[in-house]
Structure 1
Amino acid sequence: MKGLNKLSGLNITDVKILSGKTEILSDGSNLVGNVTIPNPSVMTLDLGNVTMNLAVDGTAIGTSLLPNLVLKPGDNFLPMQGRVDQLGIVGLITSKYKNAVLPLQVTGNSSIKNGEHLTYYEEAIKSNTINLNLNVEPALARIGINITSFT
């Protein structure tokens, strides 16, 4: 991860919380969004399906999947899907993070290509925790939860 600047600058945007049978994806994903990952190197890396652990204050809130992740040199804009504890997120917003900005910790879990674990990449992503602030207010508003009632 050192050659990739420890993925500094990674960001998650356009988050949508999915609900109901018509929205939740067939694999059970109940959250989608976009991820920006800068690659300052000159290498293109094929990491396969990358799963990341998501936590707030050290407590797991779910996982995300970056399917068929190929990092090219420069900024990479990629789709993300995830399985998260939606009620847990709402609980965090109603109690501690009333501005709907969650201090998210993202840590690597696995990197799998054609059914094979890419252990070299897995070791690298597992050793790096990315901290970012995730604004979930638009995602909550989309499903009818108004955070102004919590402040």
Structure 2
Amino acid sequence: MWAWGAAKPTPCLAKLARPVVLSGFNITEPKGKVVMHISTKEKGLIGNSTIDNFVLKPGQNLLPMNAIVDTALALGNVGKQGMVNMIIVGHTAVYNGVHLPYYESVLQSHTLTLAVNLQSLLGSI
């Protein structure tokens, strides 16, 4: 019996009567990247959000999203209750460096508006 995956054939020291366990390994393969623009009605574009390693699967997709927002611009839109209406619209969808126009057109055609308590959010940092 020879060890699996060895550069040179190497005798395997496990007895034939005992199970031989080969350890598993994880191959991390980068998937897609989705970028969305974040804006306000008053100031326009104030930042973007990114979902790295995006894989769309049937059912509910809960994915971590990173956002970069110009807080000075966002604070200029704070209402009386400390709320800012942020408008999020899809911008790009890329897989292995190639733009996916069919996904991009769908992302760009849907607008999500979120009322964010920016004062509370910044106060917790």
Query: What TM-score does the superposition give when structure 1 sets the normalisation length?
Result: 0.55
Q: 1:99-151 CA distances to partner (integer Å, 9 max, x unpaired)?
A: 222212111110011111011101111122122222323321124xxxxxxxx
Where do 5+ consecutive residues of structure 2 fail to align? 1-30
Q: Identity across aligned pairs (percent)?
A: 36
Aligned to 2:95: 113
Q: 1:51-98 CA distances to partner (integer Å, 9 max, x unpaired)?
A: 0011111611111101122233333222111221111112222xxx13
Give yes or no for contact 2:75–2:118 (8 Å, CA) kept in 1.
Answer: no
Aligned to 1:70: 55
- AA paired with 1:85? D
Aligned to 1:52: 36
> Which one has the largest radius of gyration?
2
More helix by proportion, 1 or 2?
A: 1
Query: What TM-score does the superposition give when structure 2 sets the normalisation length?
Result: 0.65
C-alpha change, 1:82 and 1:120, in structure 2 (3 Å) is same
2:111 matches 1:129: yes
Q: Secondary structure of the equivalent of 1:99?
A: coil
Structure showing greater relative contact order (alpha-carbon pairs closer than 8 Å, 6 or more residues apart)? 1
Aligned residues: 94
Q: Secondary structure of the equivalent of 2:64?
A: strand
Where do 5+ consecutive residues of structure 1 fail to align? 1-46, 144-151
Q: 4+ residue stretches of structure 1 with deviation over 4 A?
A: none
Q: Kindly report the root-mean-square deviation, in angstroms, between the aligned alpha carbons of the 2 structures.
A: 1.9
2:122 matches 1:140: yes
